[in-house]
Structure 1
Amino acid sequence: MIGKLKGIIDEIGDDHCVIDVGGVGYVAHCSARTLSALEGQGVAITLYIETYVREDMIRLYGFQSVLEREWFRLLQNNVQGVGAKVALAVLSTLSPSELANAIALKDAAMVARAPGVGKKVAERIVTELKSKAPAYAGGAESIGLKEELGEGAAPAPISDAVSALANLGYSRDMASNAVAAALKTAGENADAGTLIRLGLKELAR
């Protein structure tokens, strides 16, 4: 099984790239996020690979980080109805930390932004992966977010605070991290106004 490719970018397509490794061109299907990070033909690159072997084909999926590959596996192995195509669509739309935060906040609407991901599938993703989000958050700020927000759906003050910060121009990922940090100080019973105020302090650091 191929787990990593290190070579030269030979071609970049709409949903794949070709990596020249010692004169052999490997086709790796990638998320839009991974493809957009590639610098162009002739540039050295390392991709982390997930290999699918079937009776009629062998397909390689390439990722810019081990974490992104782990999320690709996690989505397919733990959520009913999610295959490679849907997993790639999700990872094309959301970074690993954004996906972890969406799951932590039970924000199915954020996941549903991915092309081809309907409301029901998005709800299954945030529900069935809720216990795994902290371990796959991909950053110190996000690790443990699910624990901080509790096991159930995020209360209205938390969702309102995240939305308010996002409306001020911050990314939803940054807003979620700021509110999670604010909860440490204010407690889970804090109102939206308090969380917004403390969240802004976190964002100003």
Structure 2
Amino acid sequence: MLAEVDQDHCLIDCAGVGYVVSCGARTLQRLPAPGDEATLHVHSQWSEDAGPRLYGFLTRDERRAFTTLLAIQGVGPKAALSVLDVLPPGELASAVAREDKSAVARANGVGPKLALRIVTELKGKSLGDPSFTPTAPGVHVEVAAPPAPSLTGEAVSALLGLGVAEVNARRAVDHALIRLGEDADLSAVIRAALQELGR
């Protein structure tokens, strides 16, 4: 459940545990009202000084684009979020295909040099989804709809986003599904899995 929305983050209540999730402005604007259910695709980072940090996105493509941007030298989480604020994944792919450095440089904290590096390094790179792969200008690519994710996969992904190790996440989700049945609601499965993990 979405507990509150702030300027650069939101607070998600997951089975009574609050998680602070950093988000870009576009994501925060598209969230439901506090008190409503919200599903975020979360990327987690760990650092010695700051500990765990969670970054939330409304789609898998946005999260995938974020992690790809982070792999570029000089691009930190703040800059990656800024790029995705001005250019969602599809538009970023188009800008890369056109070598449009100025479009990327519209992002806060991204100067011309970094914009050039982003365009250069993303050239020809796929984020695992064909819709992101840059194509030649004027070329239209039809992308088949991806298969619907399984309940187990979605629940495990949610737990991974909360920093749970994959083996523990899978075990907890399996136990939750045994208790609740295959027709259970995703949020109920996540709550039950968190109870299994003692969180």
User: Which 4+ runs in 1 deviate beyond 3 A?
Assistant: 133-138
* Structure (1 or 2) with the greater helix fraction: 1
Where do residues 12-161 of structure 1 align in structure 2 (5 Å cutoff)? 12-56=5-49, 57-77=51-71, 79-133=72-126, 136=129, 138=131, 145-146=134-135, 148-149=136-137
| C-alpha distance in structure 2 between counterparts of 1:97 and 1:137, whole Å | 10
Q: How many residues align?
A: 139
TM-score in terms of structure 2 length: 0.65
Alpha-carbon offset, residue 180 of structure 1: 3.0
Structure 1: any 5+ residue segments left out of the alignment?
1-7, 150-178, 182-205
| C-alpha distance in structure 1 between counterparts of 2:68 and 2:15, whole Å | 31
3-state SS in 2 of match to 1:100: helix
CA contact (8 A) 1:103 1:133 kept: no
Q: Which residue of 2 aligns with 1:200?
A: none
Question: What is the root-mean-square deviation of aligned Cα atoms in Å?
Answer: 1.7
* Structure (1 or 2) with the greater strand fraction: 1
Equivalent residue in structure 2 for 1:180, among 139, 144, 147: 139
CA contact (8 A) 1:96 1:137 kept: no
% identical aligned pairs: 47
TM-score in terms of structure 1 length: 0.64
Describe the superposition over 1:145-199 as per-residue Cα deviations: whole angstroms up to 9, x where unpaired: 52x34xxxxxxxxxxxxxxxxxxxxxxxxxxxxx334xxxxxxxxxxxxxxxxxx
| C-alpha distance in structure 2 between counterparts of 1:29 and 1:134, whole Å | 21
Change (3 A) 1:134 1:54: closer
Change (3 A) 1:144 1:53: closer
3-state SS in 1 of match to 2:106: coil
